[in-house]
Amino acid sequence: MRTVPRHHHFVTKAYLDGFLEPPADHLLCYGRKRPAPFRSAPEKLANIRDFHSFRRPDGSLDTSLEDYIGREIESPGMPVLRKLASGKASIDHVQRLKLAKLIALQSVRVPFERNFMDRNNKDNLLSYLAQMDEDSRRHNAPVNAIQIAITPVDDPRLIKKWSTITRAQVLAALREVEEDPTRSSRETFLGLAGAIAEIYMSMEWTIHCIQGSQRFITSDRPVLRHYSGGGGPGRGLRDIRSEVYFPLSSTALLHMKHHNWLIDQIRKRRRGPPSPRRRPAHQTIGCLGAEGGLVEKVNRTVADRAHLWVFSGREEGWLIDWMSKPFKKPKRAVTVVEEEQYLSSGHEPATLTRKREFVVTED
């Protein structure tokens, strides 16, 4: 009989193995506001019971999502990760996609991000009800439907269509939230990871390998987003200033950023008609040494962005004081579409509501 997995990792166990210091088989775990680290094996870290499972109507446990992640994302992606971590930067398009999917999923599967998705879903539903109630008072007539703006990217000028949502639909969705609070994130984070992986595929990749005795650390939020060049707040991964850092192992770091050709194209569009230029079909991966300043910078960023835990293969005394700081939540930029339009919905008017889209803007 097949053993049903119950403890589901939100940071891949095989990934955490890459931060062990041989011959040790335990990592040092530094927690927020904890006076001292403790040692534990990777298989016992970064996991939550039934994190990807749910109960079917008949009471049985559905573990298909956990099975899918292991079979379709982790098993194909981890060999590519290990190859790059060893300094072998020659991979083909298929291998690149496998790793992009693994890293993209890692960025959204962690508890902090899933909790945000679930809270955001519930807050949106409640805001729809509040908007309908406000419009009912304003028009002195019942409003039981609203429209939500749908845009391909976070820009009100690019509205493609409007989606009508009724009060009955919102109330039904809120009942589902009460019955299964993690359903929204469970049903959406794979799709979100797929969209993020496509962006990663279009970016320029560079591996930084440590030659000396320094080591990278990792955390319960190991995928780091950064906006280069200063200026105003970032607008998500499609922002040309967006960069991603991901420690592949204790001795290797993956850096992803948008290509210079893309920046040049955008600048040319601003000046005049763009010249026909395409992204090269074959994308090479650079391989550089990791200077001491880079290792220190990335490690401190890992500790800053960690939600609750930082994992290291060796003692890092500075982490005790560093992790005594409270977790700084990432800023979420909100886009609001303010417009009004009347539709025929039986005898009841329907108006537009705000469209909310959240974008992580971390520096």
Contacts 24+ apart (CB under 8 A), 289-296: 289/208, 289/209, 289/210, 289/211, 290/208, 290/209, 290/210, 290/211, 290/214, 290/216, 290/251, 290/252, 290/253, 292/212, 292/214, 294/208, 294/253, 295/210, 295/214, 295/215, 295/216, 295/253, 296/214
**Residue 248: inside a domain, yes or no?**
no
**Residue 112: inside a domain, yes or no?**
yes
Q: Among the residues of 181-259, which ranges form H helices? A: 183-202
Residue-level pLDDT at 256: 96
Residue-level pLDDT at 350: 40
**Residue 284: inside a domain, yes or no?**
no
Domain that holds residue 337: 1-202+310-363
Residue-level pLDDT at 340: 40
What are the CA-CA distances from residue 340 to residues 127, 159, 283, 354 (Å)? 16, 14, 46, 10
**Closest to 85 measured CA to CA, from 258, 287, 284:** 287
What does the DSSP 8-state code read for residue 346?
A: T
Task: Give me the helix-helix angle, 167-179 and 111-139, nearest 10°.
Answer: 150
* Backbone torsions φ then ψ of 163, nearest 5 degrees: -105, 125
What does the DSSP 8-state code read for residue 101?
A: H
What is the rounded distance in angstroms from the CA atom of residue 153 to the CA atom of residue 21?
43
**Residue 10: inside a domain, yes or no?**
yes
In this structure, are residues 234 and 227 in contact, taking their beta carbons and an 8 Å threshold? yes
**Residue 214: inside a domain, yes or no?**
no
Residue-level pLDDT at 235: 67
What are the CA-CA distances from residue 79 to residues 84, 98, 99, 331 (Å)? 9, 9, 9, 34
**Residue 280: inside a domain, yes or no?**
no
Which residues does residue 162 pair with via DSSP β-bridges, in sequence order?
Answer: 149
CB neighbour list of residue 202: distance below 8 Å, 6 or more residues apart: 258, 259, 262, 279
What is the rounded distance in angstroms from the CA atom of residue 256 to the CA atom of residue 228?
12
Q: Among the residues of 13-110, which ranges form H helices? A: 13-17, 64-68, 75-85, 93-108
**Residue 171: inside a domain, yes or no?**
yes
- pTM of the predicted model, to two decimals? 0.84
Q: Which sign does the torsion angle of CA 89, 295, 303, 14 carry?
A: positive
**Residue 352: inside a domain, yes or no?**
yes
44-78: buried (b, 16+ CB within 10 Å) or exposed (e) per residue?
ebbbeebbbbeeeeeeeeebebbeebeeebbebbb
Q: How many domains does the chain have?
A: 1
What is the rounded distance in angstroms from the CA atom of residue 168 to the CA atom of residue 40?
49
- pLDDT digits (tens), the chain, 363 positions: 456 678 899 999 999 999 999 999 999 999 999 999 999 999 999 999 999 998 888 988 899 999 999 999 999 999 999 999 998 888 999 999 999 999 999 999 999 999 999 999 999 899 889 988 888 888 888 888 887 776 655 555 666 667 788 899 999 999 999 999 999 999 999 999 999 999 999 999 999 999 889 999 999 999 999 888 765 555 678 888 889 999 999 999 999 999 864 455 555 555 555 444 444 445 688 888 888 899 999 999 999 999 999 999 999 999 999 999 999 888 765 544 444 433 333 344 444 344 433 334 444
